[in-house]
């Protein structure tokens, strides 16, 4: 088995601390803790950003500022930024891992970094183009983004390089599109000392004695399922509250006043603050409509709820459903809104009666810790490097044999 300190480059589109960032950064952090050198090359799309280098959790970031024209081309598929990245000063490395099917990572890999890496990997953790996303094609920017995302979602698996995905749904789709080496790598959580529920509620300004069902993060379609189910609980006299962080405040528009009175909206929290949020809840919520997009995903909050000992009410959709079948503290909530509402009401009754199953954190961490996920990635890298060395040795032996016969 190939064994040494690896030089690894992650090539990503965005440095903002959300979405896929929470996947590649935590895997990189775990690889650094294992003794490897990881550099992440990405882009800052915020206004007045500057190109720079910085260190986050001992991971070196090389950050390029986005070119002008975001209002026309958007950010992740910006053609000028993508071309500028082709000429970035990438180091020679053992592994390059490219994240997401975007122009701004494909071009610099294809025309620069591919030549400097011994092995290339692609990571795919969202299905960007499906029927429900036709709405993104209304203006030029939306059409441009939609077309390029669709192009690279088909093109990258067909390159026949090593792929990592976050779900079995994406693995099957990648293989259908030509990939032959695909590994499922889930999203996870870090082990940490969980803050107390009372302290967490005081820090966030939540009611100390209330029963809370909570959702953190963003969701495209399903948040109103929670509002409607909460209204059902109010009508039945079940006094649970709903805490929410992540979405913009306009998600609350149109909600009846008596429902709003049972909602605690906390705005956008930092990754560290979401630890207090999860610790403050009595039950975590994961509503998911049954779409190809949701089937492709592995939401990071699934593990982040459970690592604080929080039971989860989760739709039976996507990769989380496979894990949830084996976790008694995951309450199954079907695939439709009526099923979600029924499960929500029943779960609210269980919260009030303190009848939720106890979470076994050791089991969760043994399966979904970033530490173990990073070890999985390390072994995958080492395996592919060993195979590469063996292939080169076989080629050399064949050449020597041919020379010997000819002489």
pLDDT in tens, 243-266: 999 999 999 999 999 999 999 999
Provide φ and ψ at 305, rounded to 5°: -65, -50
Average pLDDT over residues 56-60: 95
In whole angstroms, give the CA distance from residue 173 to residue 128: 13
At residue 398, the pLDDT reads 61
Provide φ and ψ at 96, rounded to 5°: -115, 130
Whether residue 135 has pLDDT greater than 60: no
All structural domains of the chain with their residue ranges: 7-188+370-398, 197-363
At residue 234, the pLDDT reads 97
Task: Tell me which CATH homologous superfamily contains domain 7-188+370-398.
Answer: Glycogen Phosphorylase B; (3.40.50.2000)
Strand ordering across the sheet containing 312-314: 263-265, 240-245, 211-216, 283-286, 312-314, 330-332
DSSP state of 74: -
Average pLDDT over residues 55-62: 96
CA–CA distance from 211 to each of 102, 111, 225, 281, 317 (Å)?
Answer: 43, 55, 19, 8, 26
Smallest CA-to-CA distance from 108 within 86, 81, 78, 90 is with 86
Q: Which of 36-45, 122-131, 182-191, 354-363 has the lowest mean pLDDT?
A: 122-131
Q: Which of 207-211, 288-292, 349-353 has the lowest mean pLDDT?
A: 288-292
At residue 366, the pLDDT reads 95
Confidence of residue 402 (pLDDT cuts 50, 70, 90): low
Question: Collapsing DSSP states into helix, strand and coil, what is residue 37?
Answer: strand
Domain 197-363 top-level CATH class: alpha beta
Helical ranges in 297-369 per DSSP H:
300-306, 319-324, 337-353, 361-368
In whole angstroms, give the CA distance from residue 43 to residue 99: 13
Average pLDDT over residues 18-32: 96
Average pLDDT over residues 51-77: 91
Strands of 48-171 (E only): list them.
52-56, 59-65, 93-99, 117-124, 162-165
Whether residue 82 has pLDDT greater than 70: yes
By DSSP bridging, strand 59-65 and strand 52-56 are antiparallel
Residue 111 in tokens: 């025309």
DSSP state of 131: G
- Give the mean pLDDT of the chain: 92
Average pLDDT over residues 213-225: 87
At residue 167, the pLDDT reads 97
At residue 406, the pLDDT reads 64
At residue 218, the pLDDT reads 79
Domains 7-188+370-398 and 197-363 share a fold: yes
CA–CA distance from 365 to each of 133, 327, 370, 395 (Å)?
Answer: 34, 13, 8, 43
Average pLDDT over residues 317-343: 95
Whether residue 397 has pLDDT greater than 60: no
Q: How far is CA 98 from the centre of its chain?
A: 14
Strands of 221-358 (E only): list them.
240-245, 263-265, 283-286, 312-314, 330-332
| Percent with pLDDT over 90 in the chain | 81
| Percent with pLDDT over 70 in the chain | 93
């Amino acid at each position: 088995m190939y064994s040494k300190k690896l030089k690894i480059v992650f090539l990503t589109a965005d440095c903002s601390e959300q979405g896929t960032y929470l996947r590649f950064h935590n895997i990189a952090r775990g690889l650094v803790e294992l003794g490897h050198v990881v550099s992440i090359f990405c882009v800052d799309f915020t206004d007045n950003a500057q190109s720079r280098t910085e260190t986050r959790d001992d991971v070196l970031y090389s950050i390029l500022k986005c070119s002008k024209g975001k209002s026309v081309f958007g950010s992740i598929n910006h053609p000028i930024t993508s071309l500028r990245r082709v000429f970035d000063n990438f180091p020679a490395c053992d592994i390059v891992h490219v994240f997401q099917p975007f122009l701004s990572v494909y071009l610099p890999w294809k025309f620069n970094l591919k030549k400097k890496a011994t092995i290339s990997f692609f990571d795919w953790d969202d299905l960007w183009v499906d029927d429900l996303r036709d709405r993104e094609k209304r203006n030029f920017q939306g059409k441009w983004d939609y077309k390029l995302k669709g192009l690279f979602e088909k093109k990258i698996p067909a390159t026949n390089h090593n792929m990592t995905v976050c779900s079995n749904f994406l693995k099957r789709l990648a293989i259908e599109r030509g990939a032959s080496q695909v590994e499922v790598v889930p999203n996870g959580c870090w082990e940490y000392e969980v803050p107390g529920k009372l302290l967490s509620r005081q820090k966030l300004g939540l009611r100390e004695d209330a029963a809370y069902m909570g959702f953190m993060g963003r969701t495209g379609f399903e948040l109103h399922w929670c509002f409607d189910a909460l209204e059902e609980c109010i009508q039945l006299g079940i006094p649970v509250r709903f805490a929410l962080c992540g979405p913009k405040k306009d998600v609350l528009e149109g909600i009846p006043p008596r429902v709003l009175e049972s909602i605690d909206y906390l705005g956008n929290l930092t990754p560290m603050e979401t630890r207090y949020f999860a610790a403050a809840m009595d039950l975590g919520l994961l509503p998911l409509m049954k779409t190809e997009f949701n089937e492709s995903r592995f939401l990071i909050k699934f593990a982040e709820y459970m690592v604080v000992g929080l039971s989860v009410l989760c739709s039976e959709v996507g990769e989380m459903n496979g894990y949830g079948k084996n976790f008694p503290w995951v309450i199954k909530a079907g695939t439709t809104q009526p099923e979600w509402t029924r499960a929500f009401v029943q779960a609210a009754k269980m919260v009030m009666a303190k009848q939720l199953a106890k979470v076994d954190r050791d089991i969760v961490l043994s399966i979904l810790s970033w530490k173990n996920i990073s070890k999985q990635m390390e072994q995958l890298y080492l395996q592919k490097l060993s195979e590469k060395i063996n292939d080169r040795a076989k080629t050399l032996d064949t050449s020597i044999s041919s020379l010997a016969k000819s002489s």
